[in-house]
Amino acid sequence: MAINVIKEKCVGCKLCIKACPFDAIDMDGKLAVINEKCTACNQCIAVCKFSAIEKTEDESGPADLSAYKNVWVYAEQRAGKLMNVALELIGEGRRLAREISDDTKVYAVLIGEGVGALKQECFEFGADGVYLIDDPLLKNFTTDGYTKVLYDAVTQYKPEIVLFGATHIGRDLAPRVAARLNTGLTADCTRLDVKVSSYIDYAEKNTTLDTSTLDPASEDKGLKQTRPAFGGNLMATIICPRTRPQMSTVRPGVMTRREQVPGATGEVVQVKPVLSESDIRTKIVEIVKSAKEIVSLTDADIICSGGRGLGDPSGFDLIRRFASKVGGVVGSSRAAVDAGWIEQSHQVGQTGTTVKPKIYFACGISGAIQHLAGMQTSDIIVAINKDPDAPIFEVADYGIVGDLYKVIPQIIDEWENADALYESSVR
Amino acid sequence: MAFKIIVCAKQVPDTNEIKIDPVKKTLIREGVPSILNHDDANALEEALKIKDAYPDTHITVVTMGPPQARDMLIECIAMGADEGILLSDRALGGSDTWATSNAIAAAIVKLKDYDLIFAGRQAIDGDTAQVGPQIAEKLGIPQVTYVAEFELEKDMKHITVKRALEDGYELIKIETPCMLTAIKELNTPRYMSIGGIFSAVRKEIPAWGAKELGVDVDKEVGLDASPTNVFRSFTPAPKGKGVILEADTDKELADKLLINLKAKHVI
C-alpha cells in the first residue's frame, strides 16, 4: 500500500503540502513527490482538487482470519477489585460483538490469584462468558507472567478482538502481547466500530470526515479504531486488516458501561496456566497505594481545573476552595503541571486524563489542543479567562472574560443561592 | 568491562505549538519546532547520571526518523551521550509500532552487547507507549515501564525501580539486561554543555538503512509490513460555539452563570 502522485494530473498547486500533517511531500519542480515520512493517512488525497493523488492497496489478500471469533476484554483487577475501565470495555465489547454477528460473544479475561468471584460482576455488566486464569504466580501483575498466560490463551482460543484499558498496566501488557502474537495494536482509542454504517454515523455526527467514499452496506466487519494523534490535533482511524486478533487499548472514562443486571450469569472457561517462577524476571518488592489525595478525575461530576493563568502555584488554593464548594475534583492543564504547581495526577488532556464530567470549569486555561482533546466532550464547559481570544472559548458553553480571582469567589459565594437565583430569573 | 547503555529517542514536533487553521481545518506546521521527545530526554538523563557515577559507561542513542533527526542526535551527544545511530531509509517509512520495533531491535542486535536500554514512556506525537515494550519483546528481555525512580547496585547487575501506577507505585527489582521506560518524574534533564556541543558537531553519526540492519523490507519494516494501517484520518469537529456571559459586576456574572447552569439541570 502506498500513496502515489499521478504525474500527468499534478499541477504543482502545493495544496497537498499544506494539508500533510507529516511533512511528507516535497516539490520537484512542479510535481509533488511523496517522501519517506508518509504514513498513508490520506489527508492529501482529500484536498487534491485534481484527483492527482491515489492510494494503491496491497494486492495480497488477507490470510485466513475466519478461525478467529469473539471479543475479549482484559478484565484488569488490582488487589481483587475490577478497574472501572474493565466494566466499560465489557459493555463496549458486547456492542461490538453483536455488531459482528448474533452469535459473537464478549468474554472477560480474568487473570490473578483467587479472582474467580469477580466473574459475577463481569456477567452483570454484560459479559457472555469469562476466561479464568488463576494461579498463585499471577497474584500481582508482572509483565512476564501476564504476557505469557494471555499469549497462550489467545493462541489456544483465537479471539477476533482483544480490548485492554489504557491504564499503566494495560499499556505495559498489551504491546508485549501484540508483539509476541505479531499482530497490530492501536493505543488509546476513543471510539471503536465494526460495521461501516456505525462508523459513518459516528463520523457524520462528530467529525469533519467526508463519508461519501464509504459504503454503509459494506460487508467489512474489521475493527475501526479511532484515536487522537498529534496531541489531539488530528484523529486517525486505524485498521488491522491482515492479522488477528485485532487489539486496542481504550482510554478509561471514554466508553459507557451497561446498566448492571443483578444475578446475570454466563459461561466460565477455566484456563490452566503453564507458568513457572523462572518465567517471571521481575520481582515486586512492594506495592504502595498512594497516600496522596485521591484524584478520580474520570469519575467526577464536576471538575475545577486551573492553568497557567493562575499566575502562581498558590492559585490552586482558590481552585481547591472552589472544588470543595461545588463538590468537584481539582484538575489542571499540562502547563501548570510542567511549571511544578500541581502534581501530574491532576492533569487533564491528551497526555493526562480524559474526562467528561457534567461541568468542567476551565480557570485560567488558554485551551491548548492537547488539553481540549482530554475534556471537550464534557457536558458543559465553563471557561474563565482574561484573554477574550483564548482558544478555550471556542469550546466553552459559557465563557466569562474576566479576572478569575474576582469571579470565582463570587461563584463560591453565590453557589448556595443558585436555586433562588434561578427561580427569580424565570418568574 | 564498561557498562553499556542504549537510549531510544525520537525527534517529535512540539505538539503544544501546533495550531489548526480555523478556515481550512488543517494543521499549521510552519514554525513548529522539532524537539527531543520529553520522556526520551528523561531516559537519556538517567543514563547520563549513571555515566556521572561510573565514567567508563558508554551511551549510544538510537533513533529512527527522517535525515533531520540527526540534529536531535547531535543534541543528545552535546548533553553527554557517546554516540548516535540514525536509522533512516525510505523503506522504513510508514512503519507502525510493530515494524518500528523490528527496526530498532535489529539496530540494537547489530550494536551487540548492552546492559541496559532506556527509552521514554511515549512520544508526544503518537502517544502510543508501545515501541519500548515491543523492542523488549523482540529482544527477549524483561521490562519495566513508567519508571519514576531508578537505582543501580554496585554490582552493575541488580536494579531497583519505582514504577508509577495511577493509584500509587510498585517497587520492582530487575536484572540487566533489561528495558526501562522513563517518565517525567524520574529526573530533570540537563542542558547541553559547551564542550559537548563542540564534540557533538565533529562526531560522525552513522546512518543505517534496511540493508545495514538486515531487515526484510517486505515482511519486517515499512508501511506494507505493518499490521496496522490508517483507514481514514480527519480533524475533530469543533464544538458549537457557546455564549460569552456579560454583566457589569463580577457578582452579576456569577449569578448569570449559576442561572444558566440551573436551567440546564446540571446543578
DSSP class per residue in A123-155: HHTT-SEEEEEE-GGGSS--HHHHHHHHHHHHH
| Segment 48-67 of chain A within 8 Å of chain B by CB | 58
Taking only the tens place, the pLDDT of each residue in B156-191 is 999 999 999 987 899 999 999 999 999 988 999 999
Taking only the tens place, the pLDDT of each residue in B118-165 is 999 999 888 899 999 999 999 999 999 999 999 999 999 999 999 999
Q: Which residues of A touch B178 (CB under 8 A)?
A: 281
- In angstroms, the separation between the Cα of residue A101 and the nearest Cα of chain B is 22
Q: Which residues of A touch B18 (CB under 8 A)?
A: 230-231, 233, 369
Length of chain B: 267
Does B87 lie at the interface with A, CB-CB under 8 angstroms?
no
Judged by CB atoms closer than 8 Å, whether chains meet at A187 and B244 is answered as no
Tell me the one-letter amino acid at B13.
P
| Segment 173-192 of chain B within 8 Å of chain A by CB | 173-175, 178, 184-185
Judged by CB atoms closer than 8 Å, whether chains meet at A234 and B233 is answered as yes
- How many whole angstroms separate alpha carbon A168 and alpha carbon A353? 12
Does B1 lie at the interface with A, CB-CB under 8 angstroms?
no
- How many whole angstroms separate alpha carbon A30 and alpha carbon B5? 46
Judged by CB atoms closer than 8 Å, whether chains meet at B236 and A393 is answered as no
pLDDT at residue number B12? 92
When pLDDT is cut at 50, 70 and 90, the band that residue B236 belongs to is confident
Q: Which residues of A touch B41 (CB under 8 A)?
A: none
In chain B, what percentage of residues exceed pLDDT 90?
79
C-alpha cell belonging to residue A53: 493523488
Q: Which residues of B touch A209 (CB under 8 A)?
A: 232, 234
- In angstroms, the separation between the Cα of residue A282 and the nearest Cα of chain B is 5
Taking only the tens place, the pLDDT of each residue in A218-256 is 999 999 999 988 766 788 999 999 999 999 999 887 888
- In angstroms, the separation between the Cα of residue B114 and the nearest Cα of chain A is 17
Domain spanning B4-225, CATH architecture = 3-Layer(aba) Sandwich (3.40)
Contact between A48 and A15 (Cβ < 8 Å): yes
- How many whole angstroms separate alpha carbon A93 and alpha carbon A125? 11
DSSP A321-377: HHHHHHT-EEEE-HHHHHTTSS-GGGBBSTTSB----SEEEEES----HHHHHHHTT
CA distances A425 to A326, A400, B254, Å, are: 21, 19, 14
- In angstroms, the separation between the Cα of residue B62 and the nearest Cα of chain A is 18
- How many whole angstroms separate alpha carbon A53 and alpha carbon A47? 9
- How many whole angstroms separate alpha carbon A202 and alpha carbon A217? 15
Taking only the tens place, the pLDDT of each residue in A175-222 is 999 999 999 999 999 999 999 999 999 998 888 888 988 999 999 999
Classify burial at A219, counting beta carbons within 10 Å of its beta carbon; exposed 0-12, middle 13-18, buried 19 or more: exposed
Which residue in the block uniquely carries the three cell numbers 559547551? B194
When pLDDT is cut at 50, 70 and 90, the band that residue A61 belongs to is very low
Smallest Cβ distance to B228: which of A238, A345, A411? A238
Give chain A's mean pLDDT.
91
Angle, helix B70-79 to helix B38-53, in steps of 10 degrees: 30
φ and ψ at residue B30, rounded to 5 degrees? -60, 135
Q: Where are the domains of chain A?
A: 2-56, 71-279, 297-426
| Segment 318-377 of chain A within 8 Å of chain B by CB | 326, 334, 344-345, 350-351, 358-359, 368-370, 373, 376
- How many whole angstroms separate alpha carbon A295 and alpha carbon B160? 27
Does B157 lie at the interface with A, CB-CB under 8 angstroms?
no
Give chain B's mean pLDDT.
92
Smallest Cβ distance to A400: which of B97, B239, B253? B253
pLDDT at residue number B238? 61
| Segment 49-68 of chain B within 8 Å of chain A by CB | 66
Highest mean pLDDT among A5-9, A172-176, A366-370, B251-255: A172-176
In 3-state terms, what secondary structure has residue B232?
strand
Does A240 lie at the interface with B, CB-CB under 8 angstroms?
yes
Judged by CB atoms closer than 8 Å, whether chains meet at B24 and A35 is answered as no
User: Does pLDDT of A63 surpass 60?
Assistant: no
User: Does pLDDT of A317 surpass 80?
Assistant: yes
pLDDT at residue number A102? 95
Tell me the average pLDDT across B179-205. Answer: 93
Q: Which residues of B touch A185 (CB under 8 A)?
A: 97-98, 130, 228
State the SS3 of B28-76: ECCCCCEEECHHHHHHHHHHHHHHHHCCCCEEEEEEECCHHHHHHHHHH
**Same topology for domains A71-279 and A297-426, yes or no?**
yes
Rg (CA), chain B: 23
When pLDDT is cut at 50, 70 and 90, the band that residue B239 belongs to is low
pLDDT at residue number B71? 95
Classify burial at B219, counting beta carbons within 10 Å of its beta carbon; exposed 0-12, middle 13-18, buried 19 or more: exposed
pLDDT at residue number B16? 64
A297-426 in CATH: which number?
3.40.50.1220
Range scoring the smallest mean pLDDT among A374-388, B13-27, B192-206:
B13-27
Does A415 lie at the interface with B, CB-CB under 8 angstroms?
yes
Contact between A94 and A130 (Cβ < 8 Å): no
- How many whole angstroms separate alpha carbon A417 and alpha carbon A414? 5
Task: Enter the DSSP assignment of B238.
Answer: P
Range scoring the smallest mean pLDDT among A35-39, A118-122, B27-31:
B27-31
User: Does pLDDT of A60 surpass 60?
Assistant: no
Tell me the average pLDDT across A421-427. Answer: 81
In 3-state terms, what secondary structure has residue A80?
coil
pLDDT at residue number A292? 47
- In angstroms, the separation between the Cα of residue B199 and the nearest Cα of chain A is 29
In 3-state terms, what secondary structure has residue A282?
strand
pLDDT at residue number B222? 94
Q: Would you state the torsion angle of the CA atoms of residues B177, B183, B186, B189, taken in this order, to the nearest 10 degrees?
A: 100
Smallest Cβ distance to B167: which of A18, A207, A290? A290
Cα B57–chain centre separation: 22
Higher pLDDT, B28 or B181: B181
Q: Where are the domains of chain B?
A: 4-225
- In angstroms, the separation between the Cα of residue B19 and the nearest Cα of chain A is 7
Does B201 lie at the interface with A, CB-CB under 8 angstroms?
no
Q: Which residues of B touch A385 (CB under 8 A)?
A: none
pLDDT at residue number A110? 98
Taking only the tens place, the pLDDT of each residue in A97-149 is 999 999 999 999 999 999 999 999 999 999 999 999 999 999 999 999 999 99
- How many whole angstroms separate alpha carbon A16 and alpha carbon A50? 11
Range scoring the smallest mean pLDDT among B21-30, B52-61, B94-103:
B21-30
From first CA to last CA, the distance across chain B in angstroms is 66
Contact between A232 and B126 (Cβ < 8 Å): no
Judged by CB atoms closer than 8 Å, whether chains meet at B13 and A230 is answered as yes
The predicted complex's ipTM stands at: 0.90
Q: Which residues of B touch A183 (CB under 8 A)?
A: 98, 227
- How many whole angstroms separate alpha carbon A68 and alpha carbon A158? 5
When pLDDT is cut at 50, 70 and 90, the band that residue A59 belongs to is very low
Smallest Cβ distance to A418: which of B228, B253, B267? B267
CATH class of A2-56: alpha beta
Judged by CB atoms closer than 8 Å, whether chains meet at A344 and B101 is answered as no
Does A221 lie at the interface with B, CB-CB under 8 angstroms?
no
Judged by CB atoms closer than 8 Å, whether chains meet at A382 and B257 is answered as yes
- How many whole angstroms separate alpha carbon A375 and alpha carbon A357? 8
Peptide bond preceding B177: is omega within 30 degrees of 0, i.e. cis?
yes
C-alpha cell belonging to residue B63: 533513533
Domain spanning A71-279, CATH architecture = 3-Layer(aba) Sandwich (3.40)
User: Does pLDDT of A265 surpass 90?
Assistant: yes
